Amino acid sequence: MFLLAQQNHSNAIPLGSSLSPIANASWLSPSGIFAFGFYPQGNGFAIGIWLVNKSENIVVWTANRDSPPVSPNTMLNLKSDGLLLRTGQGEENPIANLSYPADSAFMHDSGNFVLYNTSSDVIWESFAFPTDTILGGQNLTVANKLVSSVSGSDHSSGRFYLWMQTDGNLVSYPVNNTATSENSYWSTGTTNTRSSTASKPSTASDQSAVCPPGSTCIVACSKKTTYNRPCSESSNHFTHSYDYNSLSLNQSGLLSLTNSRSNIYILANISYPAKKETTPIIYRAILESDGIFKLYSHRFLGNTSSHLEWSALRDQCEVKGFCGFNSYCNRNRKTVPKSCLEETVNCGAAYYTNGTCSKYKLPLRYAIKFIRYRKLSPENVNVEFAENLSLRSFSYNELENATDGFKEVLGKGSFGSVYKGYVSEANKTIAVKRLEKFVEEGEREFRAEMTAIGRTHHKNLVQLLGFCIEGSRKLLVYEYMSNGSLADFLFKAKKRPLWKERVRIALEVARGVFYLHQECEVHIIHCNLKPQNILMDDTWTAKISDFGLARLSVPNQTRNITMSMEATSGYSAPEWQKNALISVKSDIYSYGVMLLEIVCCRSNIEELDKLVEDENVDMKTLERMVKVGLWCIQEDPALRPPMKNVILMLEGTMDIAVLPSPAISQS
């Protein structure tokens, strides 16, 4: 196919090239099939790659997909140190981080956007960082994921992910779940602990491919059964051990799992047996926003036509959490189910049997219910549920064993100590927090808190994996954060962290707080934001911990926090000392203090030039961060900006008002 043939770089994009949302918004591939650049999203623009279609462009990749949309006065520049997004205020944020200097870029007809060095070696490519889609010629390698988009028009991270696991299994899960078989809703079942055999076709006429001993072939039988096994010279059977390490889509529409020995497991084979195809075709495999993995073909002859070639599931009711929170599927026996019953009931579970969904009211995100019937009388049947929450419920003994008797202490916070643990069945390191301030609460209240926290999912929040409640013992199980806290990063490092890293971390924390305040289902006031509660994962991404352990706030309201907790001195807003109402503005104050500490890497604020002496920083960005920090720590909560405005001001897309004159204290 000419679209996917090896291309020369005569149309290479040179250094110094730039794009703008309102002028010269994209770079096209040689045949004009794919484009890289700005596309409309929400109230602004996102940066990505799309399949050009006269009726509607099809987005296949998005850069920084969870960042807010950018404004029309933004510029994207190709420089030797990468693709840099420049805001109207002059701040530059990287789109592609490089280890070597770039010399040129190229938008290929395959849909791959590539950066090259002076020797024409690939130093960065979009194919290495898939979002929700892989294209022909692209792989999803072991331990990597496709994450669905929120919707067809919002390409930020959605509610489902497809994971190429290290055990050779390709599995779909809802987000915010541990990767266990109970939480999955679709898989290939190709774990490396299993093997199978299949007979060879009996005659050569039944074969459409023949391979020599020791190689791998695809054998298609007359009954349209496909065997994917190594050939054997001495046996009439194919044998194979499943140890796949890559999901691959080739340029002819073969979607398969492969391993290092070139064995394949076919999911969909659109082009086999070979067809004489003269119309250019692009193949696209996507984890849709509804959680179903699908393969499409797009033919280019006049107008672009799209066809669904294969789907992992045909029944959306099989997708856990498909209808979202507090809802269930409306399954129609005569048609493919595509709707959710609209009702504002606090529904927690849908029990599906014989094509019928029944509703049960519990405060759950979604649940699978194992039902036990007690025959009391024909008129009185007691139905009991053993709940399988989106959070895993651990026993105390399990966590005691996982932590080796709570041996290794990771830290101690306002609510209790944190211990390092390991869950062998999931091959996962965990962090276990023993709560010390919640012992007076009942089980019902505690489970309600856990349900609310379990519904949160954001890349800048530490993920809650499970909990334990046995009498007065209450423990929380979190993902393990390998690089300590922001306090360690800022105050204990031998060398001052790089300025660009600190700017990035400030924005990451702001986005996490904004999610808690405005985007999650139950709005949450953190009440104890400080560098010790900002943890760093193995990629040095900042994530907020200990959220939801104070009282939950009601949207657009404030409430008095009466829990037994202490705000940390130096980070707590003045209203804490005044015993006044605590609101999201209290978190804004704490964030402002942290922002100033991120600027100077120390707790004591000094003159600006002394804070960053002997350091190469952008003084405009520095001044902007300090001003935002000072706005956040205003004594009057009404003067503190909402977190959305904090993000926009830090990014340079919103002007910062003149700070009010400092109040003169009266003795």
What residue numbers does the annotated binding site for ATP cover?
433
Radius of gyration over every alpha carbon of the chain, rounded to an integer in angstroms: 28
List 576's β-bridge partners, or say none.
none
Please give the annotated binding residues, written as ranges: 433
Question: HEC states along 403-416?
Answer: CCCCCCEEEEECCE
The per-residue DSSP string of 265-306 comes to EEEEETT-S-----S-EEEEEEE-TTS-EEEEEEEEESEEEE
Rounded to 5 degrees, φ, ψ at 586 are: -70, -40
Please, are residues 653 and 88 in contact by the beta-carbon 8 Å criterion? yes
Residue 395, token pair as written in the block: 């026993």
Please, are residues 245 and 234 in contact by the beta-carbon 8 Å criterion? no
Spatial distance between the Cα atoms of 348 and 326, rounded to a whole number of angstroms: 5
CA distances from 647 to 20, 65, 503, 535 (A): 21, 15, 11, 20
Q: Is the C-alpha dihedral spanning 531, 537, 541, 545 positive or negative? A: negative
User: Which uninterrupted H or E stretch holds 368?
Assistant: strand 368-377
Pairing of strands 464-470, 392-393: parallel
CA 249 to chain centre: 22
CA dihedral defined by 102, 30, 33, 160, rounded to 10 degrees?
-20
For residue 120, the SS3 value is coil
Spatial distance between the Cα atoms of 509 and 34, rounded to a whole number of angstroms: 34
Spatial distance between the Cα atoms of 463 and 566, rounded to a whole number of angstroms: 23
Please, are residues 447 and 469 in contact by the beta-carbon 8 Å criterion? yes
Residue 208, token pair as written in the block: 């459409």
Q: Which amino acid belongs to residue 317? A: C
Nearest to 348 by CA among 328, 373, 320: 328
Residue 354 neighbours by CB distance under 10 Å: 5
Residue 370, token pair as written in the block: 């194992």
Spatial distance between the Cα atoms of 647 and 68, rounded to a whole number of angstroms: 9
Whether a cis peptide bond, with omega within 30° of 0, leads into 273 is: yes
Nearest to 425 by CA among 178, 112, 89, 110: 178
Nearest to 314 by CA among 289, 337, 295: 337
